Amino acid sequence: MKTRFALHALLLGIMPALAAAAAEPSPGEAGIPGWPGAVREEWFRSRADGTMQPTLFYRPPGDQPAPLLVALHTWGGTHLQAEPNYAAWCIRKGWVLVHPHFCGPNKTPEACGSELVVEDILSVVDWAREQAPIDPRRIYLIGCSGGGYASMLLAGRAPQIWAGVSQWCGIYDLAQWHAERARDGYGRMLEAVCGGAPGVSPAADEQYRRRSASTWFSAAAGVPMDLNTGIFDGHKGSVPVSHTLHAFNTLAEPSARFPEEQVRELTATAAVPEALRFAGEDPLYGKLKVLLRRVSGQARITVFEGGHESMVEAGLAWLERQVKGQPAVWKIEGAASRAGAAEVGK
């Protein structure tokens, strides 16, 4: 089995010198910590370089076409990161699930929005369609934090695939995020990925540009898009609300966009002015009270009372109503979310 050498060593948990001689990973091993037993680790071939790449996988019983959920791990995660709420939903609803590795933590040039990342995610979709009957009108993408970033990136890079995308607290512009995190580990990770800080060289600047969701996101204008962020993120979390506000502005009609002065105010004060306050309630968000909500075309932004976190079932309940080729559905009937908010580390 051909694997990327560094990844193979990482997953085996041994030194690279030993990895070359180690037994190749076998598909279908059960008992993944933090996941239901029905979820298995499998391997698929990436069309990027022909290597075998890992993913967690769940296939429901039966032969009827089912929705496919592509759930993406966080900034510093891997496919083995425990995110059991995705699996619980898919088992309950009879959906197919993939939770791919896509080059793991965003700290190497191979990861973080690279062409390998893009092709790995598209390849796992193709692979899943070979493993189970998939309804092509109901292929969904979801992620939080680094997974939110990757969700926005893939929405722009391959908008033809997705019936709906739900992103939570994702990074929109990598150069901007570097300016906000230059003095901490995230800034250093970005420099390792892109070959230095923004402005150090034209080559580094091009890496920041190509890897940023903001470069491609306008192509996702026709995809039903659920954009979520916590008002305290950037103060009690790592990704300021400006990233999600700017993402919404890219897709929104001009009259619905947030003026840059308003974006700066929301980001700096971590407070929603009374004039922008959401008048209703959304029980699906549970304890994450909706403070601001705006819809324009196929995009919706929700700013909730929280930080760098997500309400998985709110995103999944919204995705469930979306069908490819049809207008986005925003009114979701149902009771409050079963799951509490999940704090997400990057």
- As a whole number, mean pLDDT of residues 49-76 equals 98
The pLDDT of residue 344 is 54
> Domains of the chain, with CATH numbers?
1-132 (no CATH), 137-173+212-339 (3.40.50)
Of 270, 260, 322, 311, residue with least CA distance to 292: 270
The residue count of the chain comes to 346
- pTM exceeds 0.85 for this model: yes
Instruction: Please say if the pLDDT value at position 2 is more than 70.
Output: no
| Residue that wins the pLDDT comparison between 27 and 298 | 298
Q: What is the CA radius of gyration of the chain?
A: 19
Report yes or no: 263 and 243 within 8 Å, Cβ to Cβ: no
Instruction: Please say if the pLDDT value at position 286 is more than 60.
Output: yes
Instruction: Please say if the pLDDT value at position 15 is more than 80.
Output: no
Amino acid at 91: I
CA distances from 186 to 112, 176, 231, 307 (A): 12, 12, 20, 18
Pairing status of strand 309-310 against strand 299-304: unpaired
Place of tokens 């790449």: 53
Percentage of the chain modeled with pLDDT above 90: 86
The whole-angstrom separation of Cα 303 and Cα 81 is 26
Beta bridge partners of 140: 69, 164
Instruction: Please say if the pLDDT value at position 292 is more than 70.
Output: yes
Per-residue pLDDT tens digits for 251-267? 999 999 999 999 999 99
The whole-angstrom separation of Cα 121 and Cα 71 is 10
| Residue that wins the pLDDT comparison between 69 and 339 | 69
The whole-angstrom separation of Cα 45 and Cα 54 is 9
Quick one: residue 154, left, alpha or beta (phi over 0 = left, psi -120 to 50 = alpha)? alpha
- As a whole number, mean pLDDT of residues 196-202 equals 98
- Which residues have a Cβ under 8 Å from the Cβ of 4 and sit 6 or more positions away? 49, 51, 53, 110
| Residue that wins the pLDDT comparison between 9 and 268 | 268
Place of tokens 């923004």: 198
Per-residue pLDDT tens digits for 133-153? 999 999 999 999 999 999 999
Instruction: Please say if the pLDDT value at position 213 is more than 80.
Output: yes
CA distances from 272 to 131, 168, 303, 334 (A): 46, 18, 9, 27
